[in-house]
Chain A
Amino acid sequence: MIHSYLMVSVILFCIGMLGVISRRNVFTVFMSIELMLNAANLAFVAFSRLHESMDGHVLALMVMAVAAAEAALALAVVILLHKHKGKLDTNVFSLLKG
């Protein structure tokens, strides 16, 4: 039973990861990160159910709260980036190139 849940979680996580790596649009990258967080949440809840304890639930709630805060911050950053360059392509922002 737990296997299926974990498989779904892993698949979701990999999709998110691939999105972060391959997509260039800032919004898509951001959504992919959300996807990865939710994959982790699913795993938490599944394990919580398995062990019959509430720890996983608490952590899942916590991750949601963090994700909400992160969304607020990240969207503000995205707006600033857009103001700065007028584009949402991540390849445009490469000031750290060595």
Chain B
Amino acid sequence: MENSATYLMYIPLFPLLGAVIIGLMHVFTCKRPIFEKFYGIIACIGPILSFVLALRVFFNLKGMPEEGRYLIQKAFTWFQVGDLDVAMGFLADPLSSLMLLFVTFIGSLIHIYSIGYMGGEKNYAKFFAYLNLFLGSMLVLVLGDSPVVMFVGWEGVGLCSYLLISFYTTETENVIAGNKAFIVNRIGDLGFVLGMSFLFWAIGAHGFDYMALKANAHHLAPGVALTVCLLLFVGATGKSAQIPLYVWLPDAMAGPTPVSALIHAATMVTAGVYMVARFSFIYAHVPVAGSIVAWVGILTALLAAIFGMFQDDIKKVLAYSTVSQLGYMFAGVGVAAYSAGIFHVFTHAFFKALLFLGAGAVIYAMHHQQNIWKMGGLKKKMPITYYTMVIGALALAGCPFFSGFFSKDEILFMALANGHWGIWLVGVAVAGMTAYYTFRMIFVVFHGEPRDQHAYDHAHEAPLVMTLPLIILAVGALFAGYLNLPAIFGGDQEVTHWLAPVVVEHHPHVSKFVELLAMCASIVAFIIGIRLAWQRFGKGAEEPTFSGFTEFAYHKFYVDELYDSVFVQPYKRIGGAIRNAIEPNVTDAPIKLVSQLYMMVGQAFKVFQVGFVRVYAIYMIVGLSVMSLILSFSLN
């Protein structure tokens, strides 16, 4: 077959194999760590090989005619139920190949960076095994040719995020954060499973891979389609940290910084956006579902931007910026601008990985100090980190001609063009807030006078193995946007055309004037944001005290506390009630009764065990006599 490829399965297989090899080596040599130096290098091989294969996939697809641009591999039959035959199948089409490229590329860079960052840590090998497993799961998620295979990867990244967030198991706090991520994700997973089941119930009879589903999507009744869309979106809110399930992501900062970078840039959080784009053939039939997705997204963006403005942990600022940017992406896919949403995933991966790795370098230099109010003036000490991070920050803030500007603007413009001007308005405001909180962080950390002289004196630039990924990512953050240059700048939207065969979207025609006006609005918002940040923090500022609304925002609107009192505590109380009332009386009582019965029988038979040898001899003689009698009677 023309569209079959036998090498697709190796893309996820390489990192998974790496995980197994490192894991086994660790198990057998953890008493005497002899390979400690090599684990990092072994871990890098898998992702890099996957990246090479991803390139091959990309160029193969490019050489194909636009209509039949897909590669399929059915590795083996996973299970058979009745007529349903679920294969462990992999599908590479323009959408998944784009995801593949940046997931493997950025994943590889983060692996390389981790060699430097994690050097000398305990459980070095375990970390790399998990990291490889994480990337492998994500690749299964991206490449899966049916929702079922996707779900395998979906659960895999959930598991790995749990393992890696609570990697420093010595602190209770980290373990709680890991549990929180896992449990919140489970809620989302339930939505995903239900959505998948509904979809199967409705149109699963003629095959359950994406090709068949896409062909049969028009058979869906509107009500069912809406239900499926919303349930799948619940799954996406869990994995991609949207309202109401975003609470796990900021806490996920408990993990090592490269893990945060991996979660935020290449794996995990982009899964939800990818999934919605993947199911665009259903979402396209239900505009209501799209609107809900878009509004949830943009409100998340707003909320997270508000929180981001008041954080004092460098990683928390970045975490909320991720939540906020994910909100943009959902706004994009919600208004049926799937290519814009995916393009923002793509550019965001570069600059967010860059910012996290830069923050990691700062934390590394400051001896694991994460509070920005303990830093300051680091510009002179860490020039490479400073300049690369400024590039990342400019891209994140949406500075014109940086990558984030093109992708974010595309989303906002598409929202406006499709008539969602409310979303556009909020989006522009959030763009300003993004510029403000990003540069607040940059100014406080790198400008002004050092706030902690001792830590400042010991600060130093990170080693080459860490700065090299930063520089590569900075180049990406600068130029990734030009891949999808809009027509207004003389580009021809390569990414949009590339994704056109896969995602179902239509491009409304809007005059150039409106497009320019929309662009100017976001540029103005950017300038206002960055100017405010400069005024307040540019020349060095003291740690502010919060009161009124700002205090409310500093405590993140007490959402965690609200969830705790509304969901967690009642749940615990119900559990306690069951334990105290139902368990002892209903489930345990019959079992205890049975054991007591045996006790009573034992007590009754105890009298025969007198302990004297003579008496046992009598029992034996009596028994033998009775047996002989019975035998002699039966013989006669």
Interface residues of A (CB under 8 A from B): 17, 20-22, 24, 29, 90-91, 93-98
Contact = CB atoms under 8 A, between A and B. Distances in A.
B611 A21 contact: no
Chain B interface extent, by class: 10 to 19
Complex A-B, nearest 6 residue pairs according to Cβ-Cβ distance, in ascending order: A97-B611, A98-B609, A94-B611, A98-B606, A96-B611, A20-B617
Contact of B613 (A17, A22, A93): A93
A95 B611 contact: yes
B610 interface: yes
B609 A21 contact: no
Contacts of B617: 20-21
A82 B137 CA distance: 72
A29 B613 contact: yes
Contacts of B611: 94-98
Nearest to B606: A98
Interface in B588-619: 605-614, 617-618
B610 A17 contact: no
A91 B611 CA distance: 8
A17 B609 contact: no
A21 B614 contact: yes
10 contacts: A21-B621, A22-B614, A24-B614, A29-B613, A90-B614, A91-B612, A94-B610, A95-B611, A98-B606, A98-B609
Interface string B389-408: 00000000000000000000
Nearest to A94: B611
Nearest to B617: A20
Given A17-B621, A21-B618, A21-B621, A90 B612 contact: yes
Contacts of B609: 96-98
A95 B611 CA distance: 6
Contacts of A20: 614, 617
A77 to B, nearest CB: 12
B625 to A, nearest CB: 10
Given A94-B610, A98-B609, 14 more contacts: A20-B614, A21-B617, A21-B618, A21-B621, A29-B613, A90-B614, A91-B612, A93-B613, A94-B611, A96-B611, A97-B610, A97-B611, A98-B605, A98-B607
Contacts of B610: 94, 97-98
A20 B613 CA distance: 9
Contacts of B608: 98
Contacts of A91: 612
A29 B605 CA distance: 27
Contacts of A96: 609, 611
A24 B614 CA distance: 8
Interface string B208-252: 000000000000000000000000000000000000000000000
B619 to A, nearest CB: 11
A95 B616 CA distance: 13
Give the interface centre of B605, B610, B613 by most chain A CB atoms within 10 Å: B613
A17 B610 CA distance: 19
Nearest to B614: A21
A47 B463 CA distance: 100
Contacts of A94: 610-612
Contacts of B613: 29, 90, 93
Nearest to B621: A17
A29 B612 CA distance: 13
A96 B618 CA distance: 16
A97 B621 CA distance: 20
Nearest to A91: B612
Contacts of A97: 609-611
A77 B612 CA distance: 17
A58 to B, nearest CB: 24
Contacts of A29: 613-614
A21 B620 CA distance: 11
B586 to A, nearest CB: 35
Contacts of A98: 605-611
Interface string B617-629: 1100100000000
Interface string B519-546: 0000000000000000000000000000
Interface in B156-170: none
A15 to B, nearest CB: 14
A22 B611 CA distance: 15
B255 to A, nearest CB: 60
A52 B227 CA distance: 96
A98 B606 CA distance: 5
B604 to A, nearest CB: 11
A93 B616 CA distance: 13
Contacts of B606: 98
A7 B608 CA distance: 33
A16 to B, nearest CB: 11
A66 to B, nearest CB: 18
Contacts of A21: 614, 617-618, 621
Contacts of B612: 90-91, 94
Nearest to B616: A96
